[in-house]
Structure 1
Amino acid sequence: MPVSPLADHVIQLAYDPGISPKGGGLPGLAVLKNIVNSINLFGIIAAVGALAVSLAVWAWGHHTGGHQAEATGKKGATVAAGAALGLGAANGAVAFFSALGAQVH
């Protein structure tokens, strides 16, 4: 009995290619990890600098009555803190969603 074109298409969609992440398959993986770690560290250092500058602008604006500088300092401090949170949580977030995605069948 011939299979309908729709059923054949559904069977192709359900095909499991059997691919999963595996370390050591390509040369340069250690170098790539080192580069990404360095970029993450650079970002964290930049966030520390941005936070320090933003807090200084916030304090300067507060003490001089510059409401625009105060608001800009608050905004910069919030963004720098959020960036530090994101950079610090990046590895854990990717690991979490990768494990979550591996559970999909």
Structure 2
Amino acid sequence: MLPLVGPDFGAVGGSSQLRAIVGALLTYGLIISVLMVVTCGATWAISSSNGSWHAASKAKTGLFVALGGAALTGAALAWANWLLDVGAQL
């Protein structure tokens, strides 16, 4: 029978505090990304309706960057958990 190999988070001093800090950073990242989506979406809508195409283009770019940031931030924890699960099975 193969032994289960995985990270021993209990061996690291302060691992519970590290998990709390990482969770807080991910929460802040998601909150900032959502605020940027709202801000850029509103700016895009207002500048498009006023005929300011340059500002609308910049706001559209900001919206897509904020959406990408939100997706990457939200997927970071799931990806890390998946990697830990795969590492435990090797």
User: Which stretches in structure 1 are left out of the alignment for 5+ residues?
Assistant: 1-18
TM-score, length-normalised on structure 1?
Answer: 0.72
Tell me whether 1:55 sits opposite 2:44 in the alignment. no
TM-score, length-normalised on structure 2?
Answer: 0.82
Q: What amino acid is aligned across from residue 23 of structure 1 in structure 2?
A: F
Q: How many residues align?
A: 86
Secondary structure of the corresponding residue to residue 54 of structure 2: helix
Give the share of equivalent positions with the same residue, in percent: 30
Q: 2:60 — aligned with what?
A: 74
Q: 1:8 — aligned with what?
A: none
Secondary structure of the corresponding residue to residue 8 of structure 2: coil
In the alignment, the residues of structure 2 paired with residue 102 and residue 67 of structure 1 have an alpha-carbon distance, to the nearest angstrom, of 52
User: Deviations for 1:6-58, whole angstroms, at most 9, x for unmatched residues?
Assistant: xxxxxxxxxxxxx7411211221000100010000010110011111101110
Aligned residues: CA RMSD: 1.7
